[in-house]
């Protein structure tokens, strides 16, 4: 995809920047005209190398201040909006907004916690399962995106509650004093 980047960025087109990961490709442009030229170069590259463009997976993302964004999307046959979804992350175009995880399901995390409580007897085993089956759901994109604050607080509370309850049940004492 390095060759695609060189082609799409073009010679002397500093208004265009590209990014690719495996078969996901995207480019940004400062003006509609530079975006249209970059798109044309990308299409030419795709035709030369027989890449198929799946229009239903394409999107034009633009800032809310951009009056031509939706018009550009429609002219290309794409959907458009103020956020971009790529590699499991939803990226808002407005600077200052935080990228979020796209498909985090709090109910799945709760279900895994309940299953762990049944599957592992020792606290150490349960903690190992939580670290491998629950926490990665929320932290896999830690350097790039995060959970909604309320979901994160609920998940942390559920993990803490699970561990404290398990710890209390595994103690050989009859009394607990706070």
Q: What is the pLDDT of residues 10-45, one digit of tens each?
A: 877 788 998 888 888 888 888 889 999 999 999 999
Tally Cβ neighbours within 10 Å of residue 39.
20
Pair (58, 118) in one structural domain: no
Q: Look at residue 122 in the predicted model and tell me its pLDDT.
A: 81
Residue 176 has pLDDT above 60, yes or no: no
In a domain, 14, yes or no: yes
pLDDT tens digits for range 46-66: 999 998 888 888 889 998 888
Structural domain count, the chain: 2
Give the range of the structural domain holding residue 129, as residue numbers without chain letter: 106-170
Report the distance separating Cα 118 and Cα 69, nearest Å: 52
Residue finishing a domain among 83, 101, 119:
101
Pair (96, 124) in one structural domain: no
Percent of the chain with pLDDT over 70: 91
Pair (6, 88) in one structural domain: yes
In this prediction, residues 94-122 reach a mean pLDDT of: 88
Average pLDDT over the chain, rounded to an integer: 85
């Amino acid at each position: 995809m390095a060759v695609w980047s060189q082609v799409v960025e073009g010679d002397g087109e500093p208004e265009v920047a590209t990014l690719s990961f495996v078969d996901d490709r995207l480019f940004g442009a400062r003006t509609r005209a530079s975006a249209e030229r970059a798109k044309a170069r990308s299409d030419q590259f795709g035709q030369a190398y027989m890449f198929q463009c799946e229009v239903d997976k394409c999107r034009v993302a633009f800032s809310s201040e951009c009056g031509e964004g939706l018009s550009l999307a429609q002219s290309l046959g794409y959907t458009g909006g103020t956020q971009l979804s790529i590699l499991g992350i939803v990226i808002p175009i407005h600077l200052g907004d935080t990228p979020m995880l796209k498909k985090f399901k709090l109910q799945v995390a709760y279900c895994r916690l309940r299953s762990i409580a049944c599957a592992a007897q020792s606290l150490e085993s349960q903690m190992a399962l939580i670290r491998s089956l629950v926490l990665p759901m929320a932290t896999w994109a830690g350097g790039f995106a995060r959970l909604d604050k309320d979901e994160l607080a609920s998940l942390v509370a559920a993990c803490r509650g699970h561990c404290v309850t398990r710890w209390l049940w595994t103690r050989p004492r009859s009394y607990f004093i706070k």
